[in-house]
Amino acid sequence: MLRVSGLSCARGGVPVLSDVSFEVAAGQALILRGPNGIGKTTLLRALAGLQPAASGQIAYPEDTGAYASHADGIKAALTVTENLTFWADIHGTRDLVAASLSKFDLVDLQDRLGGTLSAGQKRRLGLARLGVIGRKVLFLDEPTVSLDRFSVKLFADWLQDHHLGAGGCAVVATHIDLGLSAPELDLSPFKAPLDAADGADEAFL
């Protein structure tokens, strides 16, 4: 469903990752690992088309990708239900709102304004958006930040049973164990060499 070959990407003009290749089949997830700053977010952004790749190929079915960053993207003046309905209306999927409220344990909070939620509750609402947009190829950047153990399990179960189980796939950058039976890709070996930076220092060597 997702095929990446020979991908190199940069951030702020500085090469970050070089020659990354992998495939993720329908129903599967890939966990990205690596130390802070290795380039997990940069890779996810490139996969989602939010920034151009320096070189290489990224292939997945058109209009199936969605990127969820650390930011929750909650509209403070809208209720929890209105937040989800806003996103559902963009994707023509209003029928999925009630199920997503339930799967992310937001039913008791459905009439609360987004701005009054706790950090973890905002995160659950941010993730519940994934349940209403109906996208098959998810790029998830530290999806469980701020979540307690119960909510991490809630999210992992949703990902496994409702997203992957329905034929979706996901690339997930996470520092914590989500308990998924998914292969891991450590990005450390793909760190771009310093001399990939346009050879700017060559004159001084």
Ligand X SMILES: Nc1ncnc2c1ncn2[C@@H]1O[C@H](COP(=O)(O)OP(=O)(O)OP(=O)(O)O)[C@@H](O)[C@H]1O
Which residues lie near ligand X (CB under 6 A)?
Answer: 11-12, 16, 34, 36-42
The answer to whether 154 touches 124, Cβ cutoff 8 Å, is yes
Tokens of 121: 């509750």
We find the least distance from the C-beta atom of residue 105 to ligand X, in angstroms, to be 26
State in angstroms the smallest separation of the CB of 44 from ligand X: 8
Provide, rounded to whole angstroms, the least separation between the CB of residue 32 and ligand X: 8
Q: Which is nearer to ligand X, 87 or 190 (CB)?
A: 190
Which CB sits closer to ligand X, 41 or 151? 41
The upper half-sphere exposure of residue 171, i.e. CA atoms within 13 Å in the direction of its Cβ, equals 30
SS (H, E, C) 163-174: HHHHCCEEEEEC
CB of 56 to ligand X, least distance (A): 16
Residue nearest to ligand X (CB): 12
Whose Cβ is closer to ligand X: residue 96's or residue 138's? 138
SS3 96: helix
Q: Burial level of 98, CB count in 10 A (0-12/13-18/19+)? A: middle
> Which of 25/176 has CB closer to ligand X?
176
